[in-house]
A and B are shown apart, each in its own frame.
Chain A
């Protein structure tokens, strides 16, 4: 039997009213927009002249468009570094904080601070930290006897941007892992303690398997965020004339649509981005069935 109250008489009308904003949002905001983006991706339109049908031209152009391929490669590289980085580091922090130590609240507050503040504001200071001639990082490196590094130049910029993005997301991951860790029943630890297991053995036998749901959830969130990452990249890698030293797909979509007025091409890029994310989600959910341990 399904749970829940049955609406009576006039209440059906009220139910519809309560759901109306969400329904409108789903029809027009979400699925209508997706459909519209798909249709737009088959057209050529600059919003000034009437749109013309382009067929799969926009998609074919994506394969030969060197700039888009660079953007796609950058997004994949970025995700390949960012996702494992943020999942592993935030799990590590949560495990340390979960060891019944003093000052948990203070540590938690400090680690969470970058999640509260805007990427735009914190990127301002990261720009100063990464500065080639005036930055703090190079100042420290020079004092240790090293050479100045151009952190935001083409070859290093990707790594620098990934570091800042991870720095900004550790707090959220830490909370998700802490929630998962505290949900593990005490009895499991006490039972293995009776059997003579020490803290390190307990960690591998109990903590790791039972924290897999949190790893799964966090990997999911981090992947979605990685493919949409924009703020730090925009703020740290902007060049003159609106270009970027680490153009990612979202940057490319923005630029094609709002700088070059190529709305059809930008839509095709957005669809390709969505397809990649959907395929990845499919793989994740398939892996969830195989590797994630639920009690």
Chain B
């Protein structure tokens, strides 16, 4: 009896805290949506339902000198290509680490994992100097090239998944005379779609939201990414402009990822869980 009563009280506390937390988590998003539909004159009003409401802020995004469609196109192209590069090169390496027995495998894998702990800022300056020397600053190349050189996170994530595929499959294929490449392409790739999807979503999200790298390699508007464009736009608006248009821009920039998240929620969650399990 006391146990049941205790459970009821604990349930009550649980729901209260979770709902309170959820309100804190979602309010900034609701506020962004609300502001983006308000008239500029009402931009600082404290009502959550815009009254009167307008869609002019979204129309104005196309009129600014920021060239929003170009920012959108750039972000999309860069994130897409980075995702392809990561999927291909990380899957190739992860297959070797998970399936093939070769000399220095453990050493190489350990070195790769070590790179995960090194702050990205350490490699930023020499990379910038090399790309500057190659006259590639102001182009998309410095953002894309490193994506085609594998990466610790993606390789680790895919290797974890590859290790769960039964080895009997590989052995049977080997007895039938299948080559390494065949095993990679015909067994591991088709069976790993969930992990590949998880990595694709993560990589795309990371690239889409990245600020530091585009800020260094594509530093000037209008030919840059959404994040850099928005950061510049914010600076302008802060000196007297329409916050409603800024919020419309912010909302549009996060919308694609929110849609992807709602569609592929499981991949997101599983991806993080997969990267969090013990080596």
Contact = CB atoms under 8 A, between A and B. Distances in A.
Interface of A: 2-7, 11, 14-15, 18-19, 21-26, 28-34, 36-37, 40, 47, 93, 96-97, 99, 101, 105, 107-114, 116-122, 124-129, 131, 134, 136, 139, 167, 170, 172, 175-176, 178-180, 183, 198-200, 213-214, 217, 224, 227-228, 230-231, 234-235, 238, 250, 253-254, 257-258, 263, 266-267, 270-271, 273-274, 277-278, 281, 294
| Most chain A beta-carbon contacts within 10 A, residue among B102, B121, B128 | B121
A4 B100 contact: yes
Name the residue among A18, A32, A231, A234 with the largest chain B CB count within 10 angstroms.
Answer: A18
A18 B79 CA distance: 23
Contacts of A235: 211, 231, 234
A102 B212 CA distance: 40
B112 interface: yes
B164 interface: no
B180 A110 contact: no
Contact of B125 (A28, A180, A270): A270
Contacts of B28: 114, 122, 125-126, 129, 167
A277 B115 CA distance: 12
Given A30-B115, A120-B211, A274-B118, 19 more contacts: A5-B183, A18-B93, A22-B150, A26-B108, A31-B111, A96-B14, A96-B17, A101-B11, A101-B18, A107-B22, A120-B231, A121-B253, A128-B31, A170-B25, A179-B272, A180-B276, A257-B128, A270-B124, A270-B125
A234 B46 contact: no
A95 B62 CA distance: 46
B25 A114 contact: yes
A212 to B, nearest CB: 12
Interface string B215-235: 110000000001100110011
Contacts of A234: 211, 231
A33 B26 contact: no
6 contacts: A3-B101, A125-B28, A167-B28, A170-B25, A175-B272, A274-B119
A110 B23 CA distance: 9
| B contact residues, range | 35 or more
Nearest to A266: B125
Contact of B100 (A7, A109, A116, A277): A7
Contacts of A199: 6-7, 10
A18 B31 contact: no
B124 A4 contact: no
B172 interface: no
Contacts of A99: 10-11, 14
Contacts of B44: 131, 134
Nearest to A277: B119
A6 B105 CA distance: 12
Interface stretch (B50-58, B189-197, B254-262): B254-262
A176 B272 contact: yes
A228 B24 contact: no
B150 A167 contact: no
B272 A139 contact: no
A149 to B, nearest CB: 17
Contacts of B11: 99, 101
B205 interface: yes
A107 B181 CA distance: 43
A110 B7 contact: no
B121 A250 contact: yes
B180 A112 contact: no
B269 to A, nearest CB: 6
Nearest to A5: B100
A25 B230 contact: no
A124 B247 contact: yes
A271 B258 contact: no
The 7 A-B residue pairs with the shortest CB-CB distance, nearest first, are: A4-B101, A25-B149, A22-B150, A36-B126, A118-B209, A33-B123, A179-B273
A157 to B, nearest CB: 15
Contacts of A25: 89, 146, 149-151
- Output the residue of A180, A270, A271 with the most chain B CB within 10 A: A270
Contacts of B267: none
Contacts of B155: 22
B76 interface: no
